[in-house]
Structure 1
Amino acid sequence: MPMKMHELRELIRLVDESKIEEFELENDGTKVLIKKALSDRQAVAIDSPAEVRPVEPEQGNRVEAAPAPVPATEAISPQQAPAATGEEETDLHKIVSPMVGTFYRAPSPDSDPYVKDGSRVDEKTVVCIVEAMKLMNEIEAEVRGEIVKVLVENGQLVEYGQPLFLVKAD
């Protein structure tokens, strides 16, 4: 039986919280290898039995994840924010990706984006979709305010914890 995404996330979390530098699991023809790199990032590869090979950074089938859980919104200082607005922002939050996947600004290619710079959002406003394992996951703002900057291009691969939007909170 193939490993479920929540099981893989739990493995990554457990390895990250431990002093283990490398973890390998083989089960029902699926091989999972988790290595902690010097940059405190993890490389995870899942190989089929026909393609078992060492995990190298240039492999196309790897998944990278941030080592520690990151809340969906997180306050950042004005020094970390881009100077695109021309004035100091004191209540900037970043909306981050809750998973590894492909970022989409709109529900379909011919639709308008959910939000753009200057859009007003509240906690339940859908701001984008992150596609993971052929599932379309709607991401909500989880904060009330105004979108200051969209940080990701449509169709771009995003990582767990990667900032997607900057929001000036109300």
Structure 2
Amino acid sequence: MELEQILKLINAVSQSEVEHFRMEEGNLKLDIKKAKKKKAVQMAAEPVAAMTVPAAASIEEAEPQGNKVKAPLVGTFYNAPSPEEAPFVQVGDRVEKGQTLGIIEAMKLMNEIQSDYAGVVTAILVENEQMVEYGQPLFVIQ
């Protein structure tokens, strides 16, 4: 099966109501699972008194400062080599350039996420087994 056909299958499953698709053809095994969507609850809005919002400076303070390690691809983030093992890093850990920080699984391939910086991990911005997008910040290192 060609890559183009696999991508068409993934697209077809993502646009359908199918939540789980599994296929085996020769030595190729394809297993596609959709992330469960959370249903939004809509409530009737009540009038609220106008409030003043602090300047944008307070919003910037909430954003962790430092070098951000971003996702190089779309996939599922894992913070440890296996569910039974300890995470690669935790907040406060010292890391070296090239050290493995986590794994992103894409199309059943495990891709190690390595630090571009030496320093201390000040924030981990994603949860274990969370879907991540290309370019999404994962870690902050100072």
Shorter-normalised TM range: 0.5 to 0.7
- Equivalent residue for 2:2? 2
CA deviation after TM superposition for structure 1 residue 46, in Å: 2.1
The partner residue of 2:11 within 23, 37, 46 is 46
TM-score, normalisation: structure 1? 0.52
- Equivalent residue for 2:86? 112
Amino acid at match of 1:103: F
Residues 72-127 of structure 1: CA deviation (Å, up to 9, x unaligned): xxxxxxx746367xxxx5xx111111011100000010111000101111111100
Quote the Cα distance in structure 2 between the aligned partners of 1:164 and 1:157: 11
Matched, 1:134 2:99: no
**Relative to structure 1, is the Cα distance of residues 29 and 101 closer, same or farther in structure 2, using a 3 angstrom cutoff?**
closer
Rg larger for = 2
- Equivalent residue for 1:24? none
CA deviation after TM superposition for structure 1 residue 2, in Å: 2.2
The partner residue of 1:155 within 119, 125, 129 is 129
- Equivalent residue for 1:122? 96
**Relative to structure 1, is the Cα distance of residues 81 and 160 closer, same or farther in structure 2, using a 3 angstrom cutoff?**
farther
**Relative to structure 1, is the Cα distance of residues 94 and 134 closer, same or farther in structure 2, using a 3 angstrom cutoff?**
same
- Equivalent residue for 1:96? 70
Q: Secondary structure at the match of 1:46?
A: helix
Please list every run of at least 4 consecutive aligned residues from structure 1 whose deviation after the TM superposition is greater than 2 angstroms: 27-32, 58-61, 79-84
Aligned residues: 106
- Equivalent residue for 1:37? none
**Relative to structure 1, is the Cα distance of residues 105 and 93 closer, same or farther in structure 2, using a 3 angstrom cutoff?**
same
In structure 1, stretches of 5+ residues that fail to align are: 4-26, 33-44, 62-78
Matched, 1:143 2:117: yes
- Equivalent residue for 1:17? none
Report 1 or 2 for greater relative contact order, CA contacts < 8 Å, sequence distance ≥ 6.
Answer: 2
What is the RMSD of the two structures over their aligned residues, measured on CA atoms?
A: 3.2
Amino acid at match of 2:70: V
In structure 2, stretches of 5+ residues that fail to align are: 20-31, 33-58
- Equivalent residue for 1:42? none
Identical counterparts, % of pairs = 41
**Relative to structure 1, is the Cα distance of residues 29 and 111 closer, same or farther in structure 2, using a 3 angstrom cutoff?**
closer
- Equivalent residue for 1:11? none
TM-score, normalisation: structure 2? 0.61
